[in-house]
Each structure stands twice: as structure tokens, then as C-alpha cells.
Structure 1
Amino acid sequence: MSATPVLALRGVSKRFGAVQALTDVELEIHAGEVVALVGDNGAGKSTLVKTIAGVHPIDEGVIEWEGRPVTINRPHDAQGLGIATVYQDLALCDNLDVVQNLFLGREIRRVGVLDEVEMEKRSRELLDTLSIRIPSVRIPIASLSGGQRQTVAIARSLLGEPKLVILDEPTAALGVEQTAQVLDLVERLRERGLAVILISHNMVDVMAVSDRVAVLRLGRNNGVFNAQDTNQEQIISAITGATDNAVTRRKARTAEADK
């Protein structure tokens, strides 16, 4: 792992009028690393992601990209650096096929005419590289399962050859098999040397694929944990801000019952 992070947030703060959404947030993400960003509803996860993606410019602090300070005032700035964001709504067009969705807004033209053959060829190559299995690249998105749709959305984000991919709740509302599909793809992104920020409420998913877990609570840092050296109880305690929660109480009751 490189000593210089791909992305670093140094004392980042963001407010909306009288509401302080983020306060002095610190975060580092390295190439080939999956960092899970977790926290309760209202903890500031979405705001933090949108500051990185250029939706909400920061009010204070510094964003560093590959060791140098940068200004991200709009999504175009983030994309230009090499930041790709896959939001929870996926923004796919159900009536278009896989190829058309992958190249939407990035169509390949030859002499002013869409080069359907080249786009289909590149689509197959990209999906094969990521081991994404779908019946056909010409099947309408509406015909795909939730897991397949999610993998197509992630694949689309890679067309710009990003160095950092942000995944917002990629396994929300997916079944067990579909979730496994998406988590496998997250691991393949890491194997390709990409930095990945994974936002998730599912602690099982977080522990399965993340290298580190960064906790936000009330817009502030509340711990960064190495996934191999921690457990769900410690992370949930950091999320809730209390050592006594439903998980620890249930464990205590189980231990008492086994005596």
C-alpha cells in the first residue's frame, strides 16, 4: 500500500445555514483499499460523500488528492480527478439495454454516427474483466435482477478509469445471492488497485469486504477500525456512542442463559 493516500480529508467541515453537518472530519483512503463509512441516520455520511463527489463544496478544511490540495466545487471537478460515485438510485434507464446504459453520455461515434459494434465490444470486455455475468449486453436493464443492475452501474463508473470509487449502499434491498455478487465485485475493484469507499448499514457486508471501518457520529469522526482487529460490537458502540446497546445486551443475556 502506498504511503500517500489517494484521497485525504483534513479537518473538513460543512454547514447548511444553522445546521453543522460535518465538523473537522479526517479520512484517508489508499489505492487497493476498501474503507467502509458507517454511522447512524443523520451521522453525516451522505454529506461527506457529496463533498467528495463535488455536490456540496466544503466550508473549511482541505481535500488532498494524491498528496496535493485540490478544490472540488462541482461533480465535474471530482470526475476530472478520477472520482466515480455510484449512488443508491443507480440512475439507470430501464428502457435502454446494457450497452446503451454503460455508454450513456459517453457514446462512441465514428464519422458522426454511433459505433454500436465498438461499444458492444468494449461492454463485453469490461464485464468479462470484472467477471460480471448477465444474459446479454443487449438485454434491457428492466429485465435484470437487482444485483445485476448494481453491477452494471458499478461497471459504468469504471469507464472513466477512476482511481477512487464511492459506493452508496450497494447491497440495500438485495437478496443473499445478489449481495454476494456485488461484494465479489467490490473485492475485484480492490484487486485492480482502486480505492473504494463503501457506505453501508449492513455490518456483515462491512466486515466481509472492508480493510478499515470509519465511523461518523453526529458529523464527527468517532473511530477508525482495522476490520481484522475489531468486531461488530465495537463498531456499533462507536456508531451509537454507547457501550451498552442491543448487541451487547443480547450477548450478555445469552452468556447468562448458558451458565
Structure 2
Amino acid sequence: MRDPDETPLLALESVTKRFGAIEAVVDLDLVVNRHEVVALVGDNAAGKSTVARMIAGVYSPTSGVIRLDGRAVDIPSTGVAHQLGIATVFQELALCENLDVTSNIFLGREIRSGRLLDEEAMEQQAREFLDRLNSRIPDVRTPLFQLSAGQRQCVAIARTLVADPRLVILDEPTASLSVTQTAEVLTHILSLRDLGLGVIFISHNLTDVRAIADRIEVLRHGRSNGSFDAREASYEDVIAAMTGATRIRR
């Protein structure tokens, strides 16, 4: 159990994001701690992806404060987010089918020895990253197109570890996966938590959410509409908050 005096890894305080006259996120408070998986759930257009993109540096909040380890930060770009230790895997995987596992993991962040790529060091580290995630990918030189959808998600998650992040955001990582592939990806997410990271898990699938989340935060029309202990919350309570049948006050 977290020490109540411990400073949260991430805290959003009264964060609002407007696009013209449209309020995508309104007065949102959100906390993520180390060693914690926080599921962000809600119907389409609830504001989940907008929240993820503000934390990832794609969008800037219209108002409100984002804090990391208690310190207010500006995240004007994805590059700054990476420097702050924030890694994101969006639903559209930015992977290259024609490259192998190692090359995808280190794409844009290759290790060099002088002017040459240090292939041996990258292979060794790629294997270490996959082992940390309990991956079943046997060969780090396997071309991506030969991998299953679940294994590709694992590569995308392993890629986040290159920058030694403290917070990982996963946007619908189990969408369109088979039952077996979904179980594999959920295991990888639990591995991130076991490594001491904070994880934001965005999903429509409440079965997946209840399987791995420590806490469930519900968004409805861009506003917080409920916070639940994932071990105790019923499907009915979470769905009621998602649909607006109830308004859960924090």
C-alpha cells in the first residue's frame, strides 16, 4: 500500500483542454503513483485520448497544472515528454514492418560505436527489455511482419524502455487482439508495474481493466465521473458511471 505522504508520480490538477468552443477535457484531477496501473475508461469522445496526448506533449492544456513528482511542468512537445520520463504507445503503432525486433526497439535511438551502429549492444539490450516484460519473442532479429499482433505490441512496449521512463501511457493496447494475445499484452503491462513504473491504461474493455488495474478512473464528456478501486468495483458501478446513470463524487 502506498504511503499517504508519498508524492504522486503524476498529478493533473483542474486540467482543461478546449478546441475552439469544444471542451474536450474539463477541470480534470488525476493522480498516478509509482507501481500503479491506473485505467482510464469512458465511452467514445469521453476525453481519454485527449488526456493521454496532453501528458505525452502532443497537446498543451488550456488551463490547469500537470505535476511530475510534485513539480509543475510544461510539456510542449513529445520530445520534452521523453526527457521527463514519459513514454506513450498510441493505438496506431509506429513500427516498421520491414525491420526486425531490435531495429524497431532502437529506431531513432540507435547505439553507436564511433560512426558505426553497435549491433551487438542493441541486440543484448533488446533481449534484456523483452525479458523484463516476460516476452516470448525468441529471436530479436525476427522481422516484425513475422510476429503476431500481441508480439508487436510487446515490441512497442519494449521500445518505451529504451528511454528509461517513469511513466508509460498505453492507448487501447489490447484492441483487436485475440484472447491469447490480449493475455500476453496484459502480462507485459503488469511487468511495467513490477518494474516500479506508473502506468496509464486506456481501454474500453472492462474485463481487461479489472484484470490488471489498481484503480479505475471514469471520464464522461471530458469530466471525471468516478474513481474506483479496481479490486472492489463492480461492472455495474463502472458502467453506470460511464453512461451517466450515476455521478460518483470523489
Query: Structure 2 length as normaliser, TM-score?
Result: 0.95
Q: 2:23 aligns with which of 9, 20, 23?
A: 20
- Aligned pair count reads 243
Instruction: Give the superposition deviation at 1:146.
Output: 0.4
Q: 1:162 maps to what in 2?
A: 165
Distance 1:120 1:133 in 2: 16
Distance 1:124 1:93 in 2: 18
Does residue 103 of structure 1 match 2:106?
A: yes
Q: 1:183 maps to what in 2?
A: 186
* Ranges in structure 1 where 5+ consecutive residues have no aligned partner: 244-259
Q: 1:238 maps to what in 2?
A: 241
Q: 2:43 maps to what in 1?
A: 40
Distance 1:124 1:160 in 2: 15
Q: 2:132 maps to what in 1?
A: 129
Q: 1:213 maps to what in 2?
A: 216
SS at match of 1:91: coil
Q: 1:38 corresponds to which letter in structure 2?
A: V
Instruction: Give the superposition deviation at 1:135.
Output: 3.1
| Paired residues of 2:32 and 2:198 also in contact (CA < 8 A) | yes
1:155-214 residue CA offsets vs partner (Å, 9 max, x unmatched): 101110100000000100000111110011111111111100000000000000000000
Q: 2:121 aligns with which of 113, 118, 142?
A: 118
Q: 1:174 maps to what in 2?
A: 177
Distance 1:125 1:23 in 2: 41
**Aligned-pair identity (%):** 57
Q: 1:257 maps to what in 2?
A: none
Distance 1:220 1:130 in 2: 33
Higher helix share: 1
SS at match of 1:85: strand
Q: 2:230 corresponds to which letter in structure 1?
A: A
Distance 1:32 1:46 in 2: 22
* Ranges in structure 2 where 5+ consecutive residues have no aligned partner: none
Does residue 84 of structure 1 match 2:87?
A: yes
Q: 2:150 maps to what in 1?
A: 147
Instruction: Give the superposition deviation at 1:15.
Output: 0.4
Instruction: Give the superposition deviation at 1:73.
Output: 1.1
1:71-92 residue CA offsets vs partner (Å, 9 max, x unmatched): 1111112111110000111111
1:55-81 residue CA offsets vs partner (Å, 9 max, x unmatched): 010010000110111111111121111
| Paired residues of 2:132 and 2:191 also in contact (CA < 8 A) | no
Distance 1:184 1:178 in 2: 10
| Paired residues of 2:37 and 2:215 also in contact (CA < 8 A) | yes
Distance 2:114 2:191 in 1: 36
Distance 1:23 1:44 in 2: 9
Q: 1:247 maps to what in 2?
A: none
| Paired residues of 2:133 and 2:187 also in contact (CA < 8 A) | no
Does residue 229 of structure 1 match 2:232?
A: yes
Max radius of gyration: which structure? 1
Q: 2:14 aligns with which of 6, 11, 28?
A: 11
SS at match of 2:208: helix
Distance 1:53 1:167 in 2: 11
Aligned Cα RMSD in Å? 0.9
Distance 2:14 2:135 in 1: 38
SS at match of 2:7: coil
